[in-house]
Amino acid sequence: MFKILEKAQLNNTIYKMVVSAKRVAKNCLPGQFVIVRMDDDGERIPLTICDYDREAGTVTIVFQIVGAETKRMTALEEGDCFRDFVGPLGRPSELCEEDIESLRKKKILFVAGGVGTAPVYPQVKWLGEQGVAADVIVGAKTKDILIMEEEMKAVAGNLYITTDDGSYGRSGMVTKVIQDLVEEGKQYDVCIAIGPMIMMKFVCKLTKELNLPTVVSLNPIMVDGTGMCGACRVLVGGEVKFACVDGPEFDGHLVDFDNAMKRQQQYKTEEGRAMLRLEEGDTHHGGCGNCNE
Amino acid sequence: MDVLKKVPVREQDAKVRATNFEEVCLGYNMEEAMEEASRCIGCKNAQCIKGCPVAIDIPGFIEKVKGGDIEAAYQVISKSSALPAVCGRVCPQESQCEGKCIRGIKGEPVSIGKLERFTADWARENGIVPEGAKEKRGKKIAVIGSGPAGLTCAGDLARMGYEVTIFEALHEAGGVLVYGIPEFRLPKENVVQKEIENVRALGVKIETDVVIGKAVTIDELMKEEGFDAVFIGSGAGLPKFMGIPGENANGVFSANEYLTRSNLMKAFKEDSNTPIMKGKKVAVVGGGNVAMDAARTALRLGSEVYIVYRRSEEELPARVEEVHHAKEEGIIFHLLTNPVEILVDDKGWVSGIKCVRMELGEPDESGRRRPVVIPGSEYVIDVDTVIMALGTSPNPLISSTTEGLATNRWKCIVADEENGATSKEGVYAGGDAVTGAATVILAMGAGKSAAQGIHEYLSGR
């Protein structure tokens, strides 16, 4: 059992939890993920690692309500336990394996969208600890759903916030900010973009034109997370890769986003049904167009 | 009674069982078991033992069944096998013990598998547990993976008095017995969990949710956590795909994913939180036990199911009983058929599978006749789901993080067949991680040899 030491609600759908998980905390690195299972009936949910404390033996996760299971998870409180918390899974960010000296010479740009801000944070923090100040763009639809602004400000070089509706920071999509920064004369050697699939797709489309190498972190459907099931396969440069063992980070200019987005929809009908079951319980008797009852 | 024939075993009716996940074979009762046991002539130079990868004293236990002393029969089996209720159900007896039975020359061999199953089930129902070690040896062994190889190795070492900890990557112990083999062939709660409890009762600790090679490496286990030896029984690995167009479409699954959802995550139950695709028409590509398991699972979830296999019935690698059961239940076989493309609709979902017909040519390296395409024989099978059951390739998680651990050209761990020793001192391996995808009993045999190997290594030190 893995105890929840802290819980915080970051916006209307995103939660943060600090969990006691000694084995994971010991060897995990930015870019890796965990799989959690809340109870004996729980589904296995992959979540990227947002922070870790090796001394305390804790790992921080951030998750968004996207279906019935993540909704159910919000009921867990401080002092409660996850039945399972396994990791670290996947490969660490490539930055962690690079030579520190050459890393320090690099101009690095992070692009975070929505809940993707959480997995960006440990990478920026880790770089900060190595003496590398990376620029970070954080995008959110509106001001009230922006997360982790203070934490990010503390570790980033320049932090650029943008909201789709202009309610805070710059106005417009993250792609517009990239474009603006480049036009303002900023130069970058590498971009790391993590967020909704559609955001990563358009960031990659732009950075390809800008000739800016870009790494993305994918979060496809997974079951075991150790390479056994192949549910997380994605097309990268025409080759089949398993996001759980070959990724989750890939060269964004080679990822087939359209295929990846279609694959993410695979269980949408079933997920919708489960959500209805959770929300309406026994009172739901069909007619929603989502179920066969 | 016709001594040339096996006492028939009761089974659930094919029409009924095609709609449920209850066990297909109902097994012998005491009377039937004693009658079947009486067919054994108790050969002095018993061939059946030579056919058993863990060398159970088969005539010895059958002799006890004959006399109705099932507890004694169980203790005879327990000396050699930690998982008799499992083996009685999933071993390919026809090519092992029963394949060598003298009775089989003129008639049918003694039904050794069903007798083993009866003995183990009786022991469980009557609360008999295997006997543990009397003395502790004060040496620690880490076993990686809680599948058949790991459980057997751990059980044997615990019986010798070693302190054993099993590390399992998934949230439940059992490996392929839990995620791979379906409920209707191997009940989880009553059979698998109970056998694992028996291994625990021998003093074996099981730590779930630990991915070796990620959370902790083998070197760390030995240097920092004080383990004197390690056994790697981490299993098969990454599912293979064919590399044909359309394979990344929605509705194409590996058998591993499909079975893991159904078996480990219990997606076959209505109220499960894990979804599973319930296709109208499903093509399962492959001819092994895994293919049969996936096909029969899909059938029970309400699909019309086709097995697509490129060779003929004779070459099907699945157990004879599984093929027989699959046919009885209504699985349709497209033999000598090979997929060339998965057809995809405009929303990215499977709409059919394009195949070619094959004929058998000259034998290949495996001794089996090589299938050759019949030109112009293309045809489309109308399906909305495709399950690929083509075997697996080794998982690199352990081999890539353990210095000095040799692998062969297929990336399988190299281990001595006699004692499981790898190229790294104190590290042993066995099961699918060494051989590539094989059977439960072969993995158990390897776990057993390695336990002996580890014992010799630690006592010689």
* Chain B residues touching A88 at Cβ < 8 A: 214-215
* Chain A residues touching B214 at Cβ < 8 A: 27, 87-89
* B221 and B144 share one domain: yes
* B210 and B261 share one domain: no
* B295 and B222 share one domain: no
**Residue A227 is nearest to which of B171, B179, B238, comparing CB atoms?**
B238
B24 interfacial to chain A (CB closer than 8 Å): no
Query: Would residue B84 count as lying in a domain?
Result: yes
For testing contact with chain B, the best of A83, A242, A266, A278 (most B CBs within 10 A): A266
Beta strands in B12-57 (DSSP E): 25-27
* B274 and B310 share one domain: yes
Alpha-carbon distance A17 to A85, whole Å?
12
**Residue B250 is nearest to which of A86, A226, A263, comparing CB atoms?**
A263
- Under a CB-based contact definition with an 8 Å cutoff, are residues A45 and A68 in contact? no
Instruction: Output b/e per residue, B66-77; b: 16+ Cβ within 10 A.
Output: beeebeebbbbb
* B218 and B277 share one domain: no
**Residue B257 is nearest to which of A86, A230, A270, comparing CB atoms?**
A230
B133 interfacial to chain A (CB closer than 8 Å): no
pLDDT band at residue B28 under the 50/70/90 scheme: very high
Contact B248 A37 (CB under 8 A): no
* Chain A residues touching B248 at Cβ < 8 A: 233, 235, 240, 259, 263
Q: Which two tokens stand for residue B312?
A: 């003929």
Contact B248 A86 (CB under 8 A): no
Q: What residue in A sits closest to B211 (Cα-Cα)?
A: A87
B338-377 residues touching A, CB cutoff 8 A:
347-348
pLDDT band at residue A265 under the 50/70/90 scheme: confident
Query: Would residue B301 count as lying in a domain?
Result: yes
* pLDDT > 70? residue B182: yes
Contact A240 B239 (CB under 8 A): no
Q: Helix axis angle, B58-66 relative to B112-125, nearest 10°? A: 60
Give start-end residues of each CATH 3.40.50.80 domain in chain A: 94-213
Alpha-carbon distance B458 to B451, whole Å?
11
**Vertex B188 angle, CA B91 and A221, to 5°:** 105
**Residue A87 is nearest to which of B170, B215, B254, comparing CB atoms?**
B215
**Residue A37 is nearest to which of B171, B243, B248, comparing CB atoms?**
B171
A68 interfacial to chain B (CB closer than 8 Å): yes
Contact B275 A265 (CB under 8 A): no
B268 interfacial to chain A (CB closer than 8 Å): no
Q: Return the SS3 of B286.
A: coil
CATH code for the domain in which residue B61 is found: 1.10.1060.10
**Residue with the larger pLDDT of the pair B292 and B409:** B292
* Chain B residues touching A259 at Cβ < 8 A: 248, 348
* Chain A residues touching B277 at Cβ < 8 A: 266-267
Which CATH number, 3.40.50.1370, 2.40.30.10, 3.40.50.2000, 3.30.70.2740, labels domain A2-89?
Answer: 2.40.30.10
Query: Would residue B214 count as lying in a domain?
Result: yes
A86 interfacial to chain B (CB closer than 8 Å): yes
pLDDT value, residue B192: 94
Query: A40, A82, A79: which is closest to A63 by C-alpha?
Result: A82
Fold of A94-213: Rossmann fold (3.40.50)
- Under a CB-based contact definition with an 8 Å cutoff, are residues B33 and B117 in contact? no
pLDDT value, residue A272: 67
A85 interfacial to chain B (CB closer than 8 Å): yes
Closest approach of chain B CAs to the CA of A151, in angstroms?
Answer: 27
The domain boundary residue, chosen from B100, B125, B150: B125
A39 interfacial to chain B (CB closer than 8 Å): no
Give start-end residues of each CATH 2.40.30.10 domain in chain A: 2-89
Pinpoint the alpha helices (H) of B126-216.
Answer: 148-159, 176-179, 193-201
For testing contact with chain A, the best of B240, B272, B273 (most A CBs within 10 A): B273
pLDDT band at residue B2 under the 50/70/90 scheme: confident
Digit-coded pLDDT (tens) for A77-91: 999 999 999 999 999
* B17 and B111 share one domain: yes
Alpha-carbon distance B324 to B317, whole Å?
13
* Chain B residues touching A265 at Cβ < 8 A: 250, 348
Q: What residue in B sits closest to A69 (Cα-Cα)?
A: B273
Contact B209 A43 (CB under 8 A): no
Query: Would residue B113 count as lying in a domain?
Result: yes
* B251 and B383 share one domain: yes
Contact A228 B238 (CB under 8 A): yes
* Chain B residues touching A229 at Cβ < 8 A: 239, 254, 256-257, 260
A265 interfacial to chain B (CB closer than 8 Å): yes
**Residue A240 is nearest to which of B170, B248, B253, comparing CB atoms?**
B248
Q: Which two tokens stand for residue B273?
A: 């939180």
The domain boundary residue, chosen from B91, B125, B159: B125
- Under a CB-based contact definition with an 8 Å cutoff, are residues B160 and B451 in contact? yes
The pLDDT of B432-455, averaged and rounded, is: 91
* pLDDT > 60? residue A290: no
**Residue A262 is nearest to which of B250, B260, B395, comparing CB atoms?**
B250
- Under a CB-based contact definition with an 8 Å cutoff, are residues B251 and B351 in contact? no
Contact A223 B265 (CB under 8 A): yes
Give start-end residues of each CATH 2.10.240 domain in chain A: 218-262
Report DSSP letters for A7-20, one per residue.
Answer: EEE-SSSEEEEEEE
Q: What is the pTM of this model?
A: 0.90
* B261 and B170 share one domain: no
B397 interfacial to chain A (CB closer than 8 Å): yes
Phi, psi of B380 (to 5 degrees): -110, 130
Contact B257 A85 (CB under 8 A): no
DSSP state of B412: P
pLDDT value, residue A282: 55
pLDDT value, residue A185: 92
B286 exposure class (CB count in 10 Å sphere: 0-12, 13-18, 19+)? buried
A194-253 residues touching B, CB cutoff 8 A:
223-224, 226-231, 233, 235, 240, 242, 245
Q: What residue in B sits closest to A256 (Cα-Cα)?
A: B248
List the beta bridge partners of residue A235: A240
pLDDT band at residue A214 under the 50/70/90 scheme: very high
* pLDDT > 90? residue B144: yes
Pairing of strands A58-64, A214-217: unpaired
* B255 and B185 share one domain: no
Q: Return the SS3 of A241.
A: strand
Residue A71: how many CA atoms within 13 Å on its side-chain side?
12
- Could you tell me how far CA B59 lies from the centroid of its own chain? 24
Pairing of strands A249-251, B337-344: unpaired
Query: Which residues form the domain of B412?
Result: 140-237+393-459
Digit-coded pLDDT (tens) for B291-303: 999 999 999 999 9
Query: B33, B26, B89, B43: which is closest to B66 by C-alpha?
Result: B33
Contact A228 B239 (CB under 8 A): yes
Alpha-carbon distance B279 to B259, whole Å?
14
The domain boundary residue, chosen from B343, B369, B390: B390
Closest approach of chain A CAs to the CA of B405, in angstroms?
Answer: 20
* Chain B residues touching A27 at Cβ < 8 A: 214-216
Query: Would residue B259 count as lying in a domain?
Result: yes
The pLDDT of A33-45, averaged and rounded, is: 94
For testing contact with chain A, the best of B146, B165, B168, B214 (most A CBs within 10 A): B214
Digit-coded pLDDT (tens) for B213-255: 999 999 999 999 999 999 999 998 899 999 999 999 999 999 9
* B290 and B226 share one domain: no
DSSP state of A48: E
Query: A116, A72, A120: which is closest to A95 by C-alpha?
Result: A120
Query: Would residue B70 count as lying in a domain?
Result: yes
* B171 and B89 share one domain: no
Percent residues over pLDDT 70 in chain A: 92
pLDDT band at residue A292 under the 50/70/90 scheme: very low
Query: B347, B330, B348: which is closest to B282 by C-alpha?
Result: B330
- Under a CB-based contact definition with an 8 Å cutoff, are residues B427 and B230 in contact? yes
Query: A28, A91, A38, A59: which is closest to A225 by C-alpha?
Result: A91
Query: Would residue B201 count as lying in a domain?
Result: yes
The pLDDT of B183-197, averaged and rounded, is: 92
Fold of A218-262: Dihydroorotate dehydrogenase B (pyrk subunit); domain 3 (2.10.240)
Poorest-confidence range of A57-71, B62-76, B131-145, B371-385? B131-145
- Under a CB-based contact definition with an 8 Å cutoff, are residues B27 and B9 in contact? yes
Alpha-carbon distance A83 to A43, whole Å?
11
Contact B215 A83 (CB under 8 A): no
* B364 and B414 share one domain: no
CATH code for the domain in which residue B302 is found: 3.50.50.60
Digit-coded pLDDT (tens) for B96-140: 899 999 999 999 999 999 999 999 999 999 998 887 777 888 899
Closest approach of chain B CAs to the CA of A278, in angstroms?
Answer: 10
pLDDT value, residue B234: 94
* pLDDT > 80? residue A15: yes
The pLDDT of A114-124, averaged and rounded, is: 95
Query: Would residue B4 count as lying in a domain?
Result: no
pLDDT value, residue A68: 87
* pLDDT > 50? residue A291: no
Digit-coded pLDDT (tens) for B301-355: 999 999 999 999 988 999 888 999 999 999 999 999 999 999 999 989 999 999 9
Give Rg (Cα) of chain B: 22
Q: Which contiguous run of DSSP H or E holds residue B357? A: strand B350-363
Number of domains in chain B: 3
Q: Helix axis angle, A257-264 relative to A197-209, nearest 10°? A: 180
Q: Return the SS3 of B140.
A: strand
**Residue B275 is nearest to which of A226, A262, A271, comparing CB atoms?**
A271
B68-107 residues touching A, CB cutoff 8 A:
none
pLDDT value, residue A280: 63
Pairing of strands A239-242, A233-236: antiparallel
